[in-house]
Amino acid sequence: MGFTGGVNISSDLDALLHENRLFPPSADLMENSNIQEWMKRYGIKDYDELLQRALEDPDWFWDEVARELEWFQPYQDVLKWDPPHAEWFSRGKFNIAYNALDRHVQSWRKNKVAYIWEGELGQVKKLTYHDLYGKVNQMANALRGLGVGKGDRVAIYLPMILELPIAMLACAKIGAVHSVVFSGFWAKAFHERANDAEVKVAITVDGFYRRGKVIPLKENVDQVLDDIPSLEKLIVVRHAECPVEMKAGRDLWWDEVIRDQERECPAEVMDSEDPLFILYTSGTTGKPKGVVHVHGGYAVGIYTTLKMVFDLKDEDIWWCAADIGWITGHSYIVYAPLLMGATSVMYEGAPDYPEPDRMWQIIEEYGVSVLYTAPTTIRMFMKHGEKWPQKHDLTSLRLLGSVGEPINPEAWIWYHKHIGNRQCPIMDTWWQTETGMHLITPLPITSLKPGSTVKPFPTVEADVVDDEGRSVKEGGGHLVIKSPWPAMFRTLYHDPERYVDAYWSKFPGMYLSGDVARIDEDGYFWIQGREDDVLNVAGHRISTAEVESALVSYDAVAEAAVVGKPDPVKGEEICSFITLKEGFKPSPKMKHLLREHVRKEIGPIASPACVNFVNDLPKTRSGKIMRRVIKAKVKGDDVGDISTLANPEAVDELDNAV
């Protein structure tokens, strides 16, 4: 069955996965879901009919949902599609920040809490829509005062503090284009991105807390600021109160620039297709790609998916436990929840600091009802054991989410059982920086299979094709999207040719996701990982994710990364890197047991030729294992740019292991 085909998970999972058991959401949840209500409104009787009608008439679907937002001037066409160039809601006049803030302060939501922010040290701040509106307007006025206007780029290099969404919204309000650089990246990464976008203003912080330590961000970034010729001003937020040097004429304190600003600021009237932000994402080779998103379609896409996938209601407390420096945070911490007028939790620090129950404590404290996190986080908590969530009352939760990489069935079951109290359905959402919004995802009315992202969102036509672009009926292939969607990226900044070449030229008219997937007999999608994470061992296509899932299903294993090592005979042989759970020690016997385990689970072909034990695997801040780095080490190549790694020290450890 699907992705787990052959991956025979031991213990109580075995029976469950092999009988292909479905996990339907409870009748109550289904009946009262936003999507059900929406279907009733249009006389749609079930999921199949919903998908069918939406595919037949996508303009109808998107037109209906777009009307829930406020347009300064109505759009003429829902979609103009000249592949690979789309215009959504063309000629419409719109501003996403106006819809996220001004619209709510004119309603009863004015005094509703928009963000409950908790610092790593335990400080708490709450901002209502009215508070947020005032602060955003002050910053927007300040930026205008510094000469920032429509289309100008602003780099934002901030950690998870409230000034981050405030700065983003302030840019959006005046039509400036923000480019957020993840605060965990090194200054070199900031430098490259700020220069590519030719930013006029940058916003950063004195320092911030991570695992109890202060990270001096301003001091770090000072090393590269003189090499950004376009930069005129740097605004610095006071947060960790660590000493900084302010350069006269360039550097300004945030609190000083907003002090005398008005709390009202008219929104710039934007065209639907005007750029909202650039977000850089790493390509497999070469320089990072500047993914460009726009005001109109992006807003409609993310608003609709949050409402229909995560079923957000006014009384919910939403927590997307990602970092805003990643697309998940842009879409589902900042813009979509505010468009919906929701209350969100935002947390500054590490999820397991000072103790492994920090996340569960936050859920209990604020009564979080919908939680969205990543498989890597779940696996980390599995490693700590269920005693930590058991200390807390998690019964406020009604829905869970997963994003970022394939979730191993083992982790899915743990999440469902120990966090979701065997009740909460898990929305395993597949999407990308480029797609802006969820594209292949369950809905609260669909039955789930652990490890599958279920089916494409209404109107989205996804498929798995072979090298010639023909649909693959059995086995894996390239995951492609054959229809446009409103939150799609419009281009790569400064690189329109790469937009066409990298994504649209292999199979004309189809968006190439770069992922490998398969579709099972029920039409459910199983994402197997990135194309470049697929191994070819003696002519067999083996997904790294599949071998990793088998390794992680072994009791002692916390996390596993698998890469291919060139082999003159087999093409590639499988090299694995393992972190063990607490209480287990590396030994030759353990190596042997792991090889045997994979042999039994998948077959001899997938049994790793080498097993290496390490304390930590190199990961990006969004929790993706950087197989590229491991692979380079295994092959003895240069590891290349590692400025986006969360834990560069893990790379040195690989040297000893290899």
Question: Which stretches of the chain bind ligand 6R9, using CB under 6 A?
Answer: 281, 326-328, 402-406, 428-433, 453, 513-515, 527, 530, 622
Helices (H), 77-128: 96-97, 103-105
Min. distance of Cβ 408 from ligand 6R9 in angstroms? 11
Phi then psi for 557, rounded to 5 degrees?
A: -90, 130
Q: Which is nearer to ligand 6R9, 178 or 330 (CB)?
A: 330
> Taking a C-beta distance cutoff of 8 angstroms, is the pair 636, 597 a contact?
no
Residue whose token pair is 């302030």 = 170
Q: Which is nearer to ligand 6R9, 116 or 168 (CB)?
A: 168
- β-strand 440-441 against 455-456: which pairing, if any? antiparallel
Min. distance of Cβ 479 from ligand 6R9 in angstroms? 8
* Nearest CA-CA partner of 22 in 528, 529, 524: 524
Min. distance of Cβ 328 from ligand 6R9 in angstroms? 5
Q: Quick one: tokens of 174?
A: 């005046």
Q: Which is nearer to ligand 6R9, 123 or 285 (CB)?
A: 285
Q: Which is nearer to ligand 6R9, 484 or 514 (CB)?
A: 514
Amino acid at 520: D
Q: Which is nearer to ligand 6R9, 296 or 406 (CB)?
A: 406
Min. distance of Cβ 409 from ligand 6R9 in angstroms? 12
Min. distance of Cβ 543 from ligand 6R9 in angstroms? 11
Min. distance of Cβ 453 from ligand 6R9 in angstroms? 5
Q: Which is nearer to ligand 6R9, 328 or 377 (CB)?
A: 328
The DSSP call for residue 454 is B
Q: Which is nearer to ligand 6R9, 127 or 563 (CB)?
A: 563
Beta-bridge partner residues of 378: none
Beta-bridge partner residues of 155: 179, 202
Min. distance of Cβ 496 from ligand 6R9 in angstroms? 20
Q: Which is nearer to ligand 6R9, 328 or 491 (CB)?
A: 328
> Taking a C-beta distance cutoff of 8 angstroms, is the pair 409, 11 a contact?
no
SS3 content of the chain, % helix, strand, coil (to 5): 35, 25, 40
Q: Which is nearer to ligand 6R9, 128 or 282 (CB)?
A: 282
Min. distance of Cβ 533 from ligand 6R9 in angstroms? 8
Min. distance of Cβ 309 from ligand 6R9 in angstroms? 11
Min. distance of Cβ 544 from ligand 6R9 in angstroms? 11
Q: Quick one: tokens of 395?
A: 């019964």
Min. distance of Cβ 375 from ligand 6R9 in angstroms? 8
Q: Which is nearer to ligand 6R9, 92 or 476 (CB)?
A: 476
Phi then psi for 330, rounded to 5 degrees?
A: -55, -50
Min. distance of Cβ 268 from ligand 6R9 in angstroms? 28
Q: Which is nearer to ligand 6R9, 595 or 627 (CB)?
A: 627
Q: Which is nearer to ligand 6R9, 230 or 432 (CB)?
A: 432
Q: Quick one: tokens of 197?
A: 């976008």
Q: Which is nearer to ligand 6R9, 388 or 430 (CB)?
A: 430
Residue nearest to ligand 6R9 (CB): 433
Min. distance of Cβ 619 from ligand 6R9 in angstroms? 12
The DSSP call for residue 111 is G
Per-residue b or e along 369-393, where b marks 16 or more CB atoms closer than 10 Å to that residue's CB:
bbbbbbbbbbbbbbbbeeebbeebe
Min. distance of Cβ 620 from ligand 6R9 in angstroms? 8
In angstroms, rounded to a whole number, what is the distance separating the alpha carbons of residues 528 and 519? 11
Min. distance of Cβ 398 from ligand 6R9 in angstroms? 20
Number of H helices, E strands in the chain: 24, 32
Whole-angstrom CA distances from 129 to 143, 298, 347, 638, 652 are 21, 21, 18, 49, 46
Please provide the size of the chain in residues.
Answer: 658
In angstroms, rounded to a whole number, what is the distance separating the alpha carbons of residues 90 and 78? 7
Helices (H), 290-416: 296-309, 327-329, 336-340, 358-366, 375-384, 387-390, 409-414
In angstroms, rounded to a whole number, what is the distance separating the alpha carbons of residues 115 and 130? 11
- Count CB atoms within 10 A of the CB of residue 148: 23
In angstroms, rounded to a whole number, what is the distance separating the alpha carbons of residues 226 and 221? 10
Q: Quick one: tokens of 157?
A: 């290099």
In angstroms, rounded to a whole number, what is the distance separating the alpha carbons of residues 36 and 38? 5
For the chain, the first-to-last Cα distance in angstroms comes to: 35
Per-residue b or e along 441-453, where b marks 16 or more CB atoms closer than 10 Å to that residue's CB:
bbbbbbebbbbbb
Amino acid at 89: F
Q: Which is nearer to ligand 6R9, 128 or 183 (CB)?
A: 183
Q: Which is nearer to ligand 6R9, 138 or 331 (CB)?
A: 331
Q: Which is nearer to ligand 6R9, 4 or 607 (CB)?
A: 4
Min. distance of Cβ 485 from ligand 6R9 in angstroms? 14
* Nearest CA-CA partner of 232 in 247, 216, 254, 244: 247
Measured torsion, CA atoms of residues 250, 253, 257, 259, in degrees rounded to the nearest 10: -160
**The 3-state secondary structure of 120-147, one letter per residue:** CCCCEEEEEHHHHHHHHHHHHHHHHHCC
In angstroms, rounded to a whole number, what is the distance separating the alpha carbons of residues 258 and 145? 10
